[in-house]
Amino acid sequence: MKLNSELQKQFTGYMDLLKDDIILTASLDDSENSKKVKDFLDDISSISEKIVIKEASLSRTPSFRIDTKAKVGNIVFAAVPLGHEFASFVLALLQSSGVVPKISEESKKRIQEIDQAYHFETYISLSCHICPDVVQALNIMAVLNDNITHTTIDGALFKDEIDDLNIMAVPTVMLNGREFMAGRTSIEEILDKIVGEKQTTISYSKPFDVMVIGGGPAGSSSAIYAARKGLSVIMVADKVGGQVLDTLSIENLIGTVYTEGPKLAQALNTHMQEYNIEIVKNQTVSKLEKDELINATLNNGDEITAKSVIIATGARWRNANVPGEKEFKNKGVAYCPHCDGPLFENKDIAVIGGGNSGIEAAIDLSNTSSKVTVLEFMPELKADAVLQKKMEQRKNINVILNAQTTEISGDSRVSGLSYKDRETNQIHDIKLAGVFVQIGLAPNTEWLGDYLAKSPMGEIIVDQKGETSIKGIYAAGDCTNSSYKQIVIAMGSGATAALSVADYLMKNFDK
At CA 414, angle to CA 421 and CA 427, rounded to 5?
15
Which of these, 206, 217, 228, lies nearest to 501 by C-alpha position? 228
- For the question of residue 339 being annotated catalytic, the response is yes
Which of these, 494, 438, 443, 436, lies nearest to 465 by C-alpha position? 494
Query: CA 94 to CA 413: how far, in whole Å?
Result: 40
Query: CA 55 to CA 403: how far, in whole Å?
Result: 56
- Residues 192 and 198 sit within 8 Å (Cβ to Cβ): yes
Query: CA 434 to CA 348: how far, in whole Å?
Result: 7
* Beta bridge partner(s), residue 351: 374, 436
The number of angstroms, rounded, from the C-alpha of 416 to the middle of its chain's C-alpha atoms is: 27
Torsion over CA: 454, 459, 462, 467 (sign): positive
- Residues 143 and 108 sit within 8 Å (Cβ to Cβ): no
* Beta-strand pair 277-281/259-260: unpaired
What is the DSSP-derived secondary structure letter of residue 318?
Answer: P
Residue 393 vs residues 146, 180, 365, 387, 428: alpha-carbon distances, Å: 53, 41, 14, 10, 26
Q: Is 490 left (phi over 0), alpha (psi -120 to 50) or beta?
A: alpha
Phi and psi angles of residue 95, each rounded to the nearest 5 degrees, phi first: -70, -35
Query: CA 501 to CA 504: how far, in whole Å?
Result: 5
The catalytic residue among 339, 348, 478, 479 is 339
The catalytic residue among 238, 336, 478, 479 is 336
- Residues 212 and 233 sit within 8 Å (Cβ to Cβ): yes
SS3 192: helix
Phi and psi angles of residue 321, each rounded to the nearest 5 degrees, phi first: 55, 50
- For the question of residue 479 being annotated catalytic, the response is no
Torsion over CA: 445, 450, 452, 453 (sign): positive
- Amino acid at the residue 116: Q
The catalytic residue among 154, 209, 246, 340 is 340
Query: CA 22 to CA 44: how far, in whole Å?
Result: 11
- Residues 292 and 272 sit within 8 Å (Cβ to Cβ): no
Number of Cβ atoms within 10 Å of the Cβ of 39: 14
Residues catalogued as catalytic: 336, 339-340
